[in-house]
């Protein structure tokens, strides 16, 4: 979800302003007939999403005069560093929007309220266990806790030029009958013509994409035994790596020049017919819908299938600060904010997938327009990303996996060399985090 790094760079100012109200304002809340006051740090950044967030807060405030919520606009840029500052100062927002990878560290340091047994049954039962797994972490002692409510997720789909698919006479897959990776390879070859490629793999940031797709073949890249985690790159982990490499250099159905691109960078070539298919997160549909030339016929295709169609996922989350003076009221607000109808609005605003099974049935998220039906159906195959539970993953990703995978996809090192570096250099990194 780090596409959100393009967010408005206002978090420092917003968070400071939100915390600037100090304990004095909240200390009197709920006393002498005054309403309880909560601060809600939102990281929504797209216009439609911000509007949805603010409207839900306004509706809550109108219906709940005794519990008033102040909307604090934040940004994904450096938000976690800024939150640490507010946590350590003892004055964090009551309700915090973040993503599940950030929760583990906050939980282990006692910054977040353990929501185990506290989430209202209606909300808890509306969200599948696989999503709850993305917010379940060690409490830093001897147990585990639930440190947020997951509400938006992302799957990897295929964005395709419908005219080119029809012209090649290939089968258009459906959620019930997706392409296998073998079919995908064959289709990409059929769609490759002089000056045009079947597929563009934007791999500027390859690690999360590869690790999430690797679950198609049971690849997890990490193994934990007796509390110690090591890197593993066996046959299951090699499948997706090898298949993408084959498209680039054996089949020559993927454009090597696209490797250095970010997710949206292939779109001009996609619109011009240079690329027939772009694998991407579901959110890319928004830019396609908004930027496609008049008359351009495109389609969202379901996730690929290996042994399964499973993909790793993380979640956007809402958490309650451990220092909140009004945790019960904060949870009531979260339960309202993330009910089915509201999650549908939030998902539509961000072009992502709701965790709410009620929201997933909303007509706005099941329409064929802009591929919402295919995108929403893909949520059923999301499971917790294995790397989410790995201490030291961020350093392994930035210092070892990203440069090594980029070299492999650029055909500068072999798959065996890639595996060796991921494991040997990676285990040195992880070892420091297990001491």
Residue 149 lies in a domain: yes
For residue 215, pLDDT over 50 is answered with yes
**What is the total count of domains within the chain?**
2
Domain identity same for 119 and 101: yes
Give the Cα separation of 262 and 325 in Å (integer): 42
For residue 42, pLDDT over 60 is answered with: yes
Q: In this structure, are residues 41 and 15 in contact, taking their beta carbons and an 8 Å threshold? A: yes
Q: Nearest Cα to 156, choosing from 206, 103, 101?
A: 206
Q: Do 51 and 180 lie in a common domain?
A: no
Are residues 319 and 407 both part of a single domain? no
More confident residue, 33 or 185: 185
186 domain-assigned: yes
pLDDT tens, 246-300? 999 999 999 999 999 999 999 999 999 999 999 999 999 999 999 999 999 999 9
Q: What is the domain range of residue 405?
A: 156-313+386-434
Residue 139 above 80 pLDDT? no
Residue 73 makes CB contacts below 8 A (sequence gap 6+) with: 8, 10, 14, 42, 44, 50
Are residues 296 and 172 part of one domain? yes
pLDDT at residue number 185: 98
Average pLDDT, the chain: 92
> Mean of the pLDDT values across residues 118-144?
91
Q: DSSP readout, 224-244?
A: EETTEEEE---HHHHHHHHHH
Considering only 131-140, 268-277, 346-355, which range has the smallest mean pLDDT? 131-140
Same domain, 228 and 244: yes
Percent of the residues in the chain that have a pLDDT greater than 70, as a whole number: 92
Asked if residue 191 and residue 65 are part of one domain, the reply reads no
What does R_g of the chain's alpha carbons equal in angstroms? 22
- Residue 1, pLDDT above cutoff 70: no
Assigned domain for 405 exists: yes
- Tokens 């009958």 -> residue: 177
Query: Phi then psi for 110, rounded to 5 degrees?
Result: 80, 20
Q: Are residues 121 and 241 in the same domain?
A: no
Q: Assess whether 141 and 175 both reside in one domain.
A: no
Question: Looking at residues 233-246, what average pLDDT do you find?
Answer: 98
Q: Phi and psi of 379, rounded to 5°?
A: -65, -25
> Quick one: pLDDT band at residue 2, thresholds 50, 70, 90?
very low
Is residue 337's pLDDT more than 60? yes
Residue range 54-101, pLDDT digits in tens: 999 999 999 999 999 999 999 998 898 889 999 999 999 999 999 999
Confidence class for position 30, pLDDT limits 50, 70, 90:
low
Residues 254 and 281 in one domain: yes
pLDDT, residue 140, reads 66
* The pLDDT of residue 7: 36
**Sequence-distant (≥ 6) Cβ neighbours of residue 211 within 8 angstroms:** 219, 221, 312, 385, 386, 387
Q: What is the pLDDT of residue 138?
A: 79
Q: What is the CATH number of the domain that holds 65?
A: 3.40.190.10
The lowest-confidence range among 23-27, 388-392, 399-403 is 23-27
203 and 293 assigned to the same domain: yes
Q: Say yes or no: 356 and 267 in one domain.
A: no
> Both tokens of residue 228?
């110690």
Among residues 315, 316, 356, 317, the alpha carbon closest in space to that of 95 is found at 317
Structure token digits, residue 55 = 């409207």
Residue 433 pLDDT grade (very low, low, confident, very high; cuts 50, 70, 90): confident
Q: How far apart are CA 87 and CA 102, in angstroms?
A: 14
pLDDT exceeds 90 at position 14: no
Query: Which segments within 288-435 are labelled E, that is strand?
Result: 298-301, 311-313, 315-320, 353-354, 382-384
The predicted structure's pLDDT at residue 29: 46
| Distances 199 to 78, 299, 407 between C-alpha atoms, Å | 34, 14, 20
Same domain, 424 and 323: no
Percent over 90 (pLDDT), the chain: 85
Q: Where is average pLDDT lowest: 45-49, 146-150, 346-350?
A: 45-49
């Amino acid at each position: 979800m780090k596409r959100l790094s393009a967010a408005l760079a206002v978090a420092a100012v917003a968070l400071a302003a939100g915390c600037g109200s100090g304990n004095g304002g909240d200390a009197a809340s709920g006393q002498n007939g005054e309403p309880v006051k909560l601060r809600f740090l939102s990281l929504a950044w797209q216009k439609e999403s911000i509007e949805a967030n603010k409207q839900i807060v306004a509706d809550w405030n109108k219906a709940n005069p005794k519990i008033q919520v102040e909307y604090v606009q934040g940004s994904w840029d450096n938000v976690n560093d800024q939150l640490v500052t507010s946590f350590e100062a003892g004055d964090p927002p009551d309700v915090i929007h973040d993503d599940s990878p950030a929760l583990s560290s906050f939980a282990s340091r006692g910054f977040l309220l353990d929501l185990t047994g506290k989430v209202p049954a209606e909300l808890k039962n509306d969200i599948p266990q696989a999503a709850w797994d993305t917010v379940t972490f060690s409490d830093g002692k001897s147990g585990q806790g639930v440190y947020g409510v997951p509400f938006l997720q992302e799957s990897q789909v295929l964005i395709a030029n419908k005219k080119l698919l029809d012209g090649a006479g290939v089968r258009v897959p459906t959620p019930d009958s997706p392409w296998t990776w073998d079919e995908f390879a064959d289709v990409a070859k059929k769609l490759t013509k002089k000056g045009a490629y079947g597929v563009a793999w934007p791999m500027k940031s390859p690690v999360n994409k590869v690790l999430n797709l690797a679950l198609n073949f049971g690849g997890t890249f990490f193994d934990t035994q007796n509390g110690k985690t090591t890197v593993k790159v066996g046959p299951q982990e090699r499948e997706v790596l090898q298949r993408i490499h084959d498209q680039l250099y054996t089949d020559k159905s993927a454009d090597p020049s696209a490797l250095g691109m970010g997710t949206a960078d292939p779109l001009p070539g996609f619109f011009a017919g240079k690329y027939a298919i772009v694998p991407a997160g579901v959110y890319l549909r928004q830019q396609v819908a908004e930027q496609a030339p008049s008359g351009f016929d495109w389609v969202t295709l379901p996730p690929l299938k290996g042994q399964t169609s499973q993909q790793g996922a993380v979640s956007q989350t809402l958490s309650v600060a451990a220092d909140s003076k009004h945790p019960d009221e904060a949870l009531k607000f979260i339960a309202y904010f993330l009910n089915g109808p509201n999650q549908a609005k939030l998902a539509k605003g961000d072009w992502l997938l709701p965790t709410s099974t009620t929201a997933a049935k909303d007509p706005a998220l099941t329409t064929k327009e802009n591929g919402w039906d295919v995108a929403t159906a893909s949520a059923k195959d999301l499971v917790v990303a294995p790397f989410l539970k790995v201490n030291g993953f961020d350093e392994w990703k930035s210092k070892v996996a990203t440069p090594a995978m980029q070299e492999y996809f650029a055909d500068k090192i072999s798959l065996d060399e890639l595996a060796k570096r991921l494991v040997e250099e990676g285990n040195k990194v992880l070892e420091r985090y297990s001491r």
